[in-house]
Amino acid sequence: MADLFGEPPPRDKAPAGIPAPGSARPLADRLRPQSLGDVVGQDHLTGPEGVLTRMLGTRSLGSMIFWGPPGTGKTTVARLLASQVDFAFEQISAIFSGVADLKKVFEAARLRRQNGRQTLLFVDEIHRFNRAQQDSFLPVMEDGTVVLVGATTENPSFELNAALLSRARVLTFHPHDAASLARLVERAEAVEGRTLPLDEEARAMLVRMADGDGRAILTLSEEVWRAAKPGEVFDAATLQRIVQRRAPVYDKSQDGHYNLISALHKSVRGSDPDAALYYLCRMLDAGEDPLYLGRRLVRMASEDIGLADPQALVIASAAKDAYDYLGSPEGELALAQATVYLATAPKSNALYTAYKAAMRAAKENGSLLPPKHILNAPTKLMKGEGYGSGYRYDHDEPDAFSGQDYFPSELGRQQFYDPTPRGFEATLAKRLDHWARLRRERGE
pLDDT for 24? 66
CA 388 – CA 440 distance, rounded (Å): 24
pLDDT for 245? 65
Confidence of residue 254 (pLDDT cuts 50, 70, 90): low
Structural element, H or E, at residue 53: helix 51-57
Fold entry, domain 367-442 = post-AAA+ oligomerization domain-like (1.10.3710)
Residues with Cβ < 8 Å from 196, sequence gap 6 or more?
185, 188, 189, 203, 206, 221, 224, 225
Q: Which SS3 state, helix, strand or coil, does residue 67 take?
A: strand
pLDDT for 3? 42
Q: What is the DSSP letter of 148?
A: E
Sheet with 64-67: strands ordered across: 88-93, 119-124, 147-152, 64-67, 169-172
Confidence of residue 248 (pLDDT cuts 50, 70, 90): low
Percentage of the chain surpassing pLDDT 90?
55
Average pLDDT score over residue span 196-224: 90
CA 30 – CA 190 distance, rounded (Å): 12
Confidence of residue 432 (pLDDT cuts 50, 70, 90): very high
Residues with Cβ < 8 Å from 5, sequence gap 6 or more?
31, 33, 38, 39, 40, 183, 184, 187
Average pLDDT score over residue span 246-252: 58
Average pLDDT score over residue span 322-347: 94
Question: For the segment 168-185, what is each residue's pLDDT rounded down to a tens digit?
Answer: 999 999 988 888 999 899
Question: For the segment 340-399, what is each residue's pLDDT rounded down to a tens digit?
Answer: 999 999 999 999 999 999 999 999 988 888 998 888 988 988 888 889 899 999 999 999
Please tell me the least confidently modeled range out of 5-14, 84-93, 244-253, 291-300. 5-14
pLDDT for 428? 95
Average pLDDT, the chain: 88
242 phi and psi angles, rounded to 5 deg:
-70, -45
pLDDT for 302? 96
Residue 116, CA distances (Å) to 109, 145, 148, 291, 299 in order: 10, 11, 18, 60, 61
For the chain, the domains span 42-172, 255-344, 367-442
Say yes or no to pLDDT of 91 above 70.
yes
Helices assigned H by DSSP within 286-420: 290-300, 311-326, 330-344, 350-364, 380-384
Question: For the segment 143-171, what is each residue's pLDDT rounded down to a tens digit?
Answer: 999 999 999 988 898 889 999 999 999 99
CA 423 – CA 282 distance, rounded (Å): 30
Say yes or no to pLDDT of 8 above 50.
no
Confidence of residue 247 (pLDDT cuts 50, 70, 90): low
Q: Which SS3 state, helix, strand or coil, does residue 399 take?
A: helix
Residues with Cβ < 8 Å from 376, sequence gap 6 or more?
382, 387, 388
Q: Three-class SS string for 70-96?
A: CCCCHHHHHHHHHHHCCCEEEEEECCC
The angle at the Cα of 332, spanning 327 to 337, to the nearest 5 degrees, equals: 135
pLDDT for 250? 63
Structural element, H or E, at residue 152: strand 147-152
Confidence of residue 246 (pLDDT cuts 50, 70, 90): low
CB burial readout 369-383, b (16+ within 10 A) else e:
eebbeeeebeeeeee
Question: For the segment 12-62, what is each residue's pLDDT rounded down to a tens digit?
Answer: 444 433 444 545 678 888 888 888 888 888 989 998 888 998 888 877 789
pLDDT for 160? 92
Q: Which CATH architecture does the domain made up of 255-344 adopt?
A: Up-down Bundle (1.20)
Q: Give the homologous superfamily in CATH for domain 42-172.
A: P-loop containing nucleotide triphosphate hydrolases (3.40.50.300)
pLDDT for 209? 87
Confidence of residue 244 (pLDDT cuts 50, 70, 90): confident
Considering only residues 245 and 185, tell me which one the structure prediction assigns the higher pLDDT: 185
169 in Cβ contact with 65 (< 8 Å): yes
CA 159 – CA 157 distance, rounded (Å): 6
Q: What is the DSSP string of 117-136?
A: --EEEEEETGGGS-HHHHHT
What angle do helix axes 178-192 and 214-227 make, rounded to 10 degrees?
40
Structural element, H or E, at residue 189: helix 178-192
Question: For the segment 111-130, what is each residue's pLDDT rounded down to a tens digit?
Answer: 999 999 999 999 999 999 99
Beta-carbon neighbour count of residue 184 at 10 Å? 30
Percentage of the chain surpassing pLDDT 70?
92
pLDDT for 211? 83
pLDDT for 253? 56
User: Sign of the CA dihedral 60, 64, 68, 70?
Assistant: positive
CA 416 – CA 420 distance, rounded (Å): 13
